[in-house]
Amino acid sequence: MCGIVGYIGPRQAVSVLMQGLKQLEYRGYDSSGISVLNASSIKTFKKIGKLVNLESIVPEKNRAKVGIGHTRWATHGKVTDENAHPHVSNCGKISLVHNGIIDNYVSLKDELIKKGYTFDSDTDSEVLVHLIHYYLNGDPVSAVQKALERLDGTYGVGVLFADYPDLLIGARNGSPLIVGVGEGEMFLGSDASAFIGLSKQAIYLDDGEMVVLTSKNYKTINRHNKIVDKKVEQVEIDTTENLKGDYPHFFLKEIHEQPDSIRRAIGGRLLPDFGTAKLGGLNLDKRDFFDIKRIHIIAMGSALYAGQIGASVIETLARIPTQVFDASELRYSNPIVDKETLFIAVSQSGETADTILAVKEIQNKGGRVLGVINSVGSTLARLTHGGMYIHAGQEVSVASTKAFTNQVMLLNMFALVLGRMRDVPLSRGKDLVKEIMAMPEKVEEALKCGEIVKEIAYKYKDANSILFLARGTNYPVALEGALKVKEVSYLHAEGFSAGGLKHGPLALICPETPSIFVITEGEYFEKMIGNIIEVKARDGKAIIVTTSSDERLKELADDYIKVPEVDELLSPLVTIIPMQFFSYYISLALGRDIDQPRNLAKSVTVE
Amino acid sequence: MCGIVGYIGPRQAVSVLMQGLKQLEYRGYDSSGISVLNASSIKTFKKIGKLVNLESIVPEKNRAKVGIGHTRWATHGKVTDENAHPHVSNCGKISLVHNGIIDNYVSLKDELIKKGYTFDSDTDSEVLVHLIHYYLNGDPVSAVQKALERLDGTYGVGVLFADYPDLLIGARNGSPLIVGVGEGEMFLGSDASAFIGLSKQAIYLDDGEMVVLTSKNYKTINRHNKIVDKKVEQVEIDTTENLKGDYPHFFLKEIHEQPDSIRRAIGGRLLPDFGTAKLGGLNLDKRDFFDIKRIHIIAMGSALYAGQIGASVIETLARIPTQVFDASELRYSNPIVDKETLFIAVSQSGETADTILAVKEIQNKGGRVLGVINSVGSTLARLTHGGMYIHAGQEVSVASTKAFTNQVMLLNMFALVLGRMRDVPLSRGKDLVKEIMAMPEKVEEALKCGEIVKEIAYKYKDANSILFLARGTNYPVALEGALKVKEVSYLHAEGFSAGGLKHGPLALICPETPSIFVITEGEYFEKMIGNIIEVKARDGKAIIVTTSSDERLKELADDYIKVPEVDELLSPLVTIIPMQFFSYYISLALGRDIDQPRNLAKSVTVE
C-alpha cells in the first residue's frame, strides 16, 4: 500500500529517499515520487509505474539535505503522474505526502476552490497541502495542526516547507508513521524498512500525534500541542532477509522458507512431556481461560482463512464455539461483545486498517483482543491486550505464504493449550506435540511436489477458471488456494465446500474449468469421493491433492498430487503447499508480475 | 435431482409414467427412462437428454398396466443411455429405479461379479437390482428387504417383477418417496407432483419404511417386516401454477411473481397495532424465546444467503448472536449443541439432503430445530419441531427467486418478533410493520428496472467474469447475485465484501471484468463510495445498484440502477431484483437453458 519516507540530515536526501522507496517497493504501488528542498526551493519528481521510471527522471547529483518520498496505491483518482505524491501547494512552497483516506475531501475541495486554490490532481490528499497553505501564518507546526483538525478520515503525512529548510513535519492518525532517530539526522517512514541500514532507533507515533523534526532534534506533540514523551525503541529488521538469493521471485523463496519459518513458530513453545504448549505474551492468567465461552477471530484475506482453520481446530480440541469475522464487516455491524468472548485479531503486517478499526470497535465495547501478528512493534501488536508473534520473518511477496502457514501453526498451538486445559488427555496432547514437532520435516517433504505441480499448472494455464473444493478443516485451504490463484495469476478461481458444489457452482463445470480437490482421510472421505465422481460425470477435470494413499483417488484423478500423511488437524499445513506452487507456476506460465501483482498492496493500510 | 414415478392400475401405464416424468422435469436431470410390464415381460426404454428424446422411442400404444419411470441426475457414472434408470436384472425379470447414493457399492459390485453377475452400467444403483435377484426365492418383498439391508447410503426405490404382474414395491431411506392412493390404482412418486391430477390422497413414507402396492391395496411395513399404520394425507398442489403463461421462462415468471408471493408470506401474520408479527406453527411457547441465547441457521445455496440476511436482521433487532452454517459442513463437524441455542433450517423443497442430515445430527444431540420451508409436508417440514412456511408457491425454475425473497421475508418477521420481545420499542415495531406491508408494492416498483437491466446485461455478456460487491445486510445479496449468474449463465461471478476486495480479489479487476455494487444509505455508505473509486481507479467498470439518490453514485457509475428507497433492514428484498434480472438477461443473451441449467437439479436430494 502507500509508503512514506522522509529525511533530514547531512546526507544527500535524494539517495536516502530512493533507497527508502526501494525498501518500501514490495508493499505494492502504482506510482512514486519525491520532493527535495534545495536553496529554499522545492523540486518534485513523480512518475507512474515502477521505481525505475522515477529513477530515470531524478537527477543523479543533487545537494538537497531534506526531502520526502512516496509510493502510491491509488484510492482516489486514477494512476497518473499528476495523482502521484508529493503534492505541492499552488505557491510551490509546501510539499506533502499522505497515506490514508480523507472522507470529507469533496466538501473541503469545494471550499478551497471557492477560496481560489487550483487543483492539479484528482486525489483526496491534495486538499491537505492547500489547507496547510491556507492556515500558514508564520508557524508551520500550527498550520499543519489546524489543517489536520479539518480532516475526517485517516492519515500518515510528511510535510516540507521551502521557507523552513531545517524542518520536516510528520503526523499520524490511522496510518502508521515511524520516526528514525539518528546522530544528527532524522528519518520518517511508514514502516521501519524505509530507513533500514541507516537508523536502528525508532519512535512509533500513535494516533493523533505529530512529530517536528530538525536534523539534530525531534519533538513529539499531541493534538493539544502538548509534548508527549515517546520511548525510543530498537528496530530489529535484518536487511539480508530482503534478498531473493537464488530464487527468481520472493514468492517462490518464501514458499521454500516454510519449513524454517514453521520451526521458528514452534521453537521454544512446546512442552513435550506435558503434551501442550507455552505461549508467552498472552498477558492472560491461565485461570482467565476458564471463563472463555466463545472465541471470535477477526481478520481479512489470507489471515481470515488461517483463522477459519484455527476455528475448526479450536472447536475440535477445546470444544469452544469459535467464529471468524471479516473485519471490514464486523466494524460496522454493531458487534455484540461480552465478557465471556475472547477476540483474536490475525494480521501479518499488524497494520491492516480494516482489522485495526474492528479491534478498536471491540475494545471500545470492552472486549478483550489478542493478536496473532508477524510484524513486531506494529500498530496491532501494540494495540492488543497481548498476543502471539508468528515469527515468519519478513514476507516480501504481496501474496502471503509463510505468514499464512505460521498463523495456522500458532492457532493450532493455541487450540492445543485450550484443549489440554479442558478435555484433551495427556496422551493425545503428547501425540499432537509430536506431530507439531514433525511438521517442518513434513512440509519439507511436501515441497518435493513442486516439479509435478509445475507440469500440472502449465497444463491448465488456459483454463477459463478454476474451482477449489474441500471439506472440514481443509475447506479454508480451498478458499486460500483460490485466493492465491486470483491474486497472482488474475485467473478467476473460487473455493467452495465440496458439499455446496451441487447447490449451484456445479453449473460452471466443463472441460475448460478444472477442479482442485483437497481430500484427507477422515469423516468426509467417502463423501468427497462422491463429489469427485459428480464432477467427473459432467466431463470436469479433477486435480486431486491428498494425504491419503487410497487407490481410488489415483484412478479418479486427471492429475494426482500426494502430500505426506499427517494428523487431520495439521493437514492444512501440507495440503496448502501444492496450492501455493500451483498459483506460482500458473502465474509464471501466464507471465504475471508475481511478487507485485497488479492492483494489490502488501499491507492494506486503508479501509 | 433424480425423480421417481410408479404406477399400478387400470390406466395405460406408459402415459401415466410419461406425464409423471414431465411433472418432475423441472427438478433438473440429464437422462430418463421407463420400464413397463406387459404379459410377464418387462420392456425398458432409456435415453440421455431431455424427455422428448425418451418420448421418441417409447411406443405410443402399449397396454401395460404397471410400470416405473425415472429422471436421472448423474452421481456415479457419466451421462449415458446405459447409466440411465431403470436398471434390469441379468435375467430381465426385475427392473428398478433408485434415487440416492450407495456408499458401499464398490465392494458390493465386486461381490456380485464374483457371483457371476454382469453389469451394464457404471452406476451404484445397478448393484441393487442384482442383489434383489440374488435374494429372490419366491418372496419378492423379502428379497427387496434383504437387498436393502446390505446397503450403506441413501435410497428411494421402485421395483417391478415380471413374474408378479400385480405388484409394485417402493422403499425409502434418506430419499423421499410418496405413495398416491387412488381408487383401484396406486402411484409412487419422489414428490407428489409425479401423480398430480391423478390422486390427491398420499402417504409420506418415513426412513426405513417399505410399501407393497397392488392395484387395489397398499401395505406399509418397517425394517422388521411389521405393518406400520400410515396416515393418508390430502395433497395440496395446484397444477395451474405449473404453467408458464405468457412468460418465455419460469425463471422470468417467478421473478415477476414476487410481489404476490411476498404478499402471501406476510398475509395474516402482521399485528400493526402492536408493531410485531404472529407466526403460527412454531410450536414454541413465547416464554421459551426468553431462553434463546444464540441462533444457528442451517442451509445450502440460496437458502444459505437468505439465512445470512436473516442473521444480520436478527442481530440488529433482537441482539441475539446469530451464525449461519453450510449444512454439509455442519453435519461432519461434531457441532456443539446446547439448550440455549435455537437452530433454524432453511430449505425451499424441504428435501435438501445436506440440510436434512445436518438437522438429524443436531436433533440427535438434543438440539431444537425450526424450519423455514416452502414445500408443505416435505421431509424437513415433518422432521422439525415447528416452523414457518414461506408460501412462495411452487417454484419450477432450478435457480431460486421467489423462494429466496420469501425466506428473507419470513426471517425478517421472525427477527421482528424476537426484537419486539426484547428491546425494539413499539414505535419502531410499528414502523417496521408498515415497511413490511409496503414491500409488495416496493418490489412491484423495483421490477420496473427490468428493461434497463436487460440493456446492461446484453452489454456485458462477453465479460470474463463478474464481481458482486456490497457490505452489511446487503453483502449476502452480492453472494446471491453472483450465485444466480453462475447457475444460469455459467459465467464465473463471485461475491465479496466490499472491504475484502483490496485484500486479494482486486487483482481480477480489468476493463473486461465489471463489478456490480449494491449500495444503500447507512453506516457503510462513504466506505462503499471509496471502494467504487478504488475499482474505477484501476479501469474497472462499475454497475451500481442503489436505494440512494446521492448524485455521486450517478457520476461514478458506468451503469446505474435505482431501486425504491426502503428501510436498510428490508433493502435486500428490492436490491436482489436487478440481480435476478441481470442473471436472467445475460443468460438469455448467451443462449442458455434458463429453467434447467446444465449440471443442476431443483431439489438436491443427495449429499
Domains of chain B, by residue range, sit at 2-237, 241-424, 448-599
- The residue behind cell 434458463 is B594
pLDDT digits (tens, 9 = 90+) for B570-593: 999 999 999 999 999 999 999 999
Interface check for B500 against chain A (CB to CB < 8 A): the answer is yes
Overall size of chain A counted in residues: 607
Q: Is the domain B241-424 a CATH 3.40.50.720 member?
A: no
pLDDT reading at A342 higher than 60: yes
Q: What is the pLDDT of residues B477-490, one digit of tens each?
A: 999 999 999 999 99
Q: What is the mean pLDDT of residues B337-359?
A: 96
Residue A302's closest chain B neighbor by CA?
B503
Residue B242 binned pLDDT confidence (cut-offs 50, 70, 90): low
Closest Cβ opposite residue B332 in set A523, A552, A601: A523
Q: What's residue B522's pLDDT? A: 87
Q: pTM (2 decimals)?
A: 0.87
Q: Answer whether A526 touches B (CB < 8 Å).
A: yes
* Average pLDDT score, chain B: 94
The pLDDT tens digits for A427-477 are 999 999 999 999 999 999 999 999 999 999 999 999 999 999 999 999 999
Q: Of B499, B509, B604, which is closest to A599 when you measure between CB atoms?
A: B509
Rounded Cα–Cα distance for residues B414 and B266 (Å): 11
CATH topology assigned to domain A448-599: Rossmann fold (3.40.50)
Instruction: Report the residue from B315, B534, B598 with minimal CB separation from A336.
Output: B315
**pLDDT tier at A370 (50, 70, 90 boundaries)?**
very high
* Residue that is written with C-alpha cell 453377475 in the block: B117
Q: Which residue has the cell 517433504?
A: A445
What ipTM did this prediction achieve? 0.86
Distance between CA atoms of residues A464 and A491, nearest Å: 8
Residue B575: CB partners within 8 Å, gap ≥ 6?
B470, B474, B477, B518, B520, B545, B547, B563
Beta strand B515-519 pairing with A66-72: unpaired
Q: Cell for B80? A: 449415458
Angle at B444 between CA B441 and CA B448, to 5 degrees: 140
Residue A98 has pLDDT above 50, yes or no: yes
B363 close to A (CB below 8 A): no
For cell 468427497, the residue is A528
Structure confidence at residue B226 (pLDDT): 93
pLDDT tens column, A24-66: 877 778 899 999 998 889 999 999 988 999 999 999 888 999 9
Average pLDDT, chain A: 94
pLDDT at site A540 = 96
User: By C-alpha distance, which of A210, A84, A70, A199 is closest to A147?
Assistant: A210
Q: Do A507 and B486 touch (CB under 8 A)?
A: yes
**A543 confidence band (pLDDT: 50, 70, 90):** very high
Give the per-residue pLDDT at A95.
Answer: 98
Whether residue B537 and residue A500 make contact (CB cut-off 8 A), yes or no, is no
| CB pair distance less than 8 Å for A471 and B328 | yes
**For residue B468, what are the CA distances in angstroms to A110, B534, B574, B592?**
32, 14, 16, 21
Q: Which residue has the higher pLDDT, B30 or B328?
A: B328
Cα–Cα distance measured from residue A346 to residue A404, given in angstroms and rounded to the nearest whole number: 10
> Rounded to whole angstroms, how far apart are CA atoms A105 and A75?
13
pLDDT given at position B555: 94
Using the predicted structure, report yes or no on whether residue B251 has a pLDDT greater than 90: yes
Contact A497 B328 (CB under 8 A): yes
Cell numbers 410499528 correspond to what residue? B430
B315 pLDDT band, cuts 50/70/90, is: very high
Mean pLDDT of A552-557: 95
Q: What is the mean predicted confidence (pLDDT) over A228-250?
A: 80
Confidence of residue A603 (pLDDT cuts 50, 70, 90): confident
Report pLDDT for B515: 98
Q: What's the average model confidence in pLDDT over B372-385?
A: 90
Q: Give the mean model confidence (pLDDT) for residues A581-591.
A: 97
Q: Inform me whether the pLDDT recorded for A80 exceeds 70.
A: yes
| Record: contact B597-A552, CB cut-off 8 A | no
**B76 vs A contacts (CB less than 8 Å):** 530, 533, 537
Q: Is B597 on the interface with A (CB under 8 A)?
A: yes
pLDDT at A237: 66
Residue A331 identity (one-letter amino acid): R
pLDDT in tens, A409-441: 999 999 999 999 999 999 999 999 999 999 999
Distance from the Cα of A225 to chain B's closest Cα (Å) equals 30
A441/B415 Cα distance (integer angstroms)? 51
Q: Chain A, 61-80: which have a CB under 8 Å from a chain B CB?
A: 74-79
Give percent of chain B above pLDDT 90. 84
A502/B604 Cβ within 8 A: yes
- Which residues of B does the annotation mark as catalytic? 2, 602
Q: Where are the alpha helices (DSSP H) in A230-278?
A: 250-256, 258-266
Q: What is the per-residue pLDDT for A373?
A: 96
Residue identified by cell 411452487 is B394
Chain A residue with Cα closest to B470: A329
Task: Tell if the CB–CB gap between B336 and A319 is shorter than 8 Å.
Answer: yes
Same topology, domains B241-424 and B448-599? Answer is yes
**pLDDT above 60 (res A240):** no
Cβ-Cβ contacts under 8 Å, A600 against chain B: 502, 504, 506-507
Cα gap B501→A600, rounded to integer Å? 10
Residue type, B324: V
Q: What are phi and psi of A310, to 5 degrees?
A: -55, -40
Instruction: Give percent of chain A above pLDDT 90.
Output: 83
| pLDDT tens digits, B100-122 | 889 889 999 999 999 999 999 99
Nearest CA-CA distance, residue B79 and chain A, Å: 7
* Residue A294 or A601, more confident: A294
- The strand ranges marked E within B128-240 are 155-161, 168-173, 178-181, 186-189, 201-204, 209-213, 218-221, 233-234
pLDDT at position A308 = 98
pLDDT of residue A27: 74
Interface test with A, best of B125, B464, B492, B521 (most A CBs within 10 A): B492
Pairing of strands A31-38, A41-48: antiparallel
Q: What is the pLDDT of residue A605?
A: 81
Q: How many CB atoms lie within 10 A of CB A285?
A: 8
pLDDT at A242: 58
On the CB side of A213, CA atoms within 13 Å amount to 31
Q: Is A465 on the interface with B (CB under 8 A)?
A: yes
Facing residue for A75 by CB, picked from B336, B507, B533 = B533
> What homologous superfamily does CATH list for A2-237?
Aminohydrolase, N-terminal nucleophile (Ntn) domain (3.60.20.10)
Long-range contacts of A381-388, Cβ-Cβ distance < 8 Å, separation of 24 or more: A381/A350, A382/A204, A383/A356, A383/A359, A384/A345, A384/A359, A385/A283, A385/A284, A386/A281, A386/A282, A386/A283, A386/A284, A387/A281, A387/A282, A388/A279, A388/A281, A388/A282, A388/A414
Q: How far apart are CA A357 and CA B34, in angstroms?
A: 62
What the block records as the C-alpha cell of A304 is 481470515
- For A502, nearest residue in chain B (alpha carbons): B600
Using the Cβ of B103 and the Cβ atoms of chain A, whether some distance falls under 8 Å is answered with: yes
pLDDT at B240: 45
* Cβ pair A503:B604 closer than 8 A: yes
The arithmetic mean of pLDDT across residues B545-552, rounded, is 96
The closest alpha carbon to B601, from B17, B32, B7, B20, belongs to: B32
- Interchain pair B78, A537: CB under 8 A: yes
Chain A neighbors of B523, CB-CB under 8 A: 332
pLDDT at A107 over 60: yes
What residues does A152 pair with on adjacent strands? none
Contact flag B106-A552 (C-beta cutoff 8 Å): yes
Q: How confident is the model at residue B241 (pLDDT cuts 50, 70, 90)?
A: low
pLDDT at B97: 97
Half-sphere exposure of A324 (CA within 13 A, CB side): 21
Q: For B460-571, where are the alpha helices, taking DSSP H only?
A: 475-489, 525-537, 551-556
Q: What does the pLDDT average to over A247-275?
A: 95
CA–chain centroid gap for B607, Å, is 13
Q: What is the CA radius of gyration of chain B?
A: 25
